[in-house]
Amino acid sequence: MAAPAPTVPANAGARTASTAMIWSALVVVYIVWGSTYLAIRIVVEAEIPPMLGMAARFLAAAALLAGFLALRSGGHRLKVTGRELLGTAVVGLLLLAFGNGAVAVAEQTVPSGLAALLVAAVPLWLMLLRVGGGERPRLLTWIGVLIGFTGAALLSLSSGDTSAKPLSVVILVLGTISWAVGSRFSPRLGLPKDPLVATVYEMAIGGTAMVLLGVLRGEPGRLHLDAIHTDGWIALGYLVVFGSLLAYSAYTYLLANAPISLIGTYAYVNPVVAVLLGWLILSERVTPTILLGGAVVVLGVALVVTAERRPATPAEPEQ
């Protein structure tokens, strides 16, 4: 890829989206996704198998959104080309099946606040993907990366102070990498121009893949509907309506209309919300190591985003 700054998706939507819409979508992702870590933790603690629970979340949301779009605009609005369907399949697998699915599996032992803090490394992975694409980030960006990964290491070591298992931490880190890859390349995959239509297919395909992964993990044998607590159903409903229909749709819109460096800021706002809610509602322990590691991750990511949002210097060619 050449020429225009790769942090800006090369499509017309990025030039026509209003600033108000972009920031409204960001605020939704900031707040709602920060709370979903808590909701996922409640779901898995309520005896709902993680992959099947998240599959139900996204398949239900896809059905509701598809029905709404069909009633409002007619079934023709949901028509997509083969290339668009393939693009949504790739994004659905990377972001939902492997990304969100990893979070749910990991949160069986990883507290919601710690999970959100580890996910705060997503913008750092995004930057490394840019380097792999031949870009030369600023020195401040590299400093932010080093600081951010130091924080991630501290968070991994903190598993000795919590119920988190090392394998769960590894699964979560792999999930964040999958999410970063999907976010980085989604604007180049020829997705449907309508973000809501793209969301429908991504959630439907991602949710279906989660069912298959759940079966491979033997989750159907552990699913007992009569044993699920009321809190689990409420949390799952919250994830369907707010985490998927509202926040994931907002994120899909942002991927099509905003610079990836700006989108990435959600990752260091979410931990603040998640840690606070985990402490208030689930009485999760907030150890000194978690506080230190979280502060270091946030600092590193903030430096990366700050560096990437600085205007080009006079020596750099204008596009």
What confidence score (pLDDT) does residue 56 get? 95
More confident site: 34 or 90 = 90
Q: Which long-range contacts (CB under 8 A, 24 or more apart) does 293-296 make?
A: 293/117, 293/151, 293/152, 293/153, 293/154, 293/155, 293/157, 293/158, 294/113, 294/117, 294/120, 294/151, 294/155, 295/151, 296/147, 296/148, 296/150, 296/151, 296/154
What confidence score (pLDDT) does residue 313 get? 46
Considering the chain, what percentage of its residues have pLDDT values greater than 70? 85
Alpha-carbon distance of 191 to 90, in angstroms, equals 10
What confidence score (pLDDT) does residue 102 get? 92
Residue in 146, 165, 112, 152 with CA at minimum distance from that of residue 293: 152
Instruction: Supply the pTM of this predicted model.
Output: 0.77
Does residue 105 form part of some domain?
Answer: yes
Mean pLDDT of the chain, nearest integer = 81
What confidence score (pLDDT) does residue 42 get? 87
Q: How confident is the model at residue 210 (pLDDT cuts 50, 70, 90)?
A: very high
Does residue 154 form part of some domain?
Answer: no
Tell me which range, 10-19, 214-223, 259-268, is most confidently predicted by mean pLDDT: 214-223
Q: How confident is the model at residue 300 (pLDDT cuts 50, 70, 90)?
A: confident
Q: Check: CB of residue 199 under 8 Å from CB of residue 65.
A: yes
Q: Indicate if the pLDDT at residue 9 is higher than 50.
A: no
Q: How confident is the model at residue 12 (pLDDT cuts 50, 70, 90)?
A: very low
Q: At residue 66, what is the residue type? A: A
Lowest-confidence range among 40-44, 107-111, 223-227, 284-288?
A: 284-288
What is the count of structural domains for the chain? 1
Does residue 210 form part of some domain?
Answer: yes
Alpha-carbon distance of 99 to 173, in angstroms, equals 9
Q: How confident is the model at residue 319 (pLDDT cuts 50, 70, 90)?
A: very low
What confidence score (pLDDT) does residue 10 get? 37
Q: How confident is the model at residue 119 (pLDDT cuts 50, 70, 90)?
A: confident
What confidence score (pLDDT) does residue 205 get? 97
Does residue 144 form part of some domain?
Answer: no
Residue 15: enclosing H or E segment and its boundaries?
helix 12-16
Does residue 34 form part of some domain?
Answer: yes
Q: Containing domain of residue 61, as a range?
A: 12-138+165-287
Does residue 145 form part of some domain?
Answer: no
More confident site: 46 or 80 = 80
Does residue 302 form part of some domain?
Answer: no
Burial of 77 (0-12, 13-18, 19+ CB in 10 A): middle
What confidence score (pLDDT) does residue 85 get? 95
What confidence score (pLDDT) does residue 311 get? 54
What confidence score (pLDDT) does residue 158 get? 58
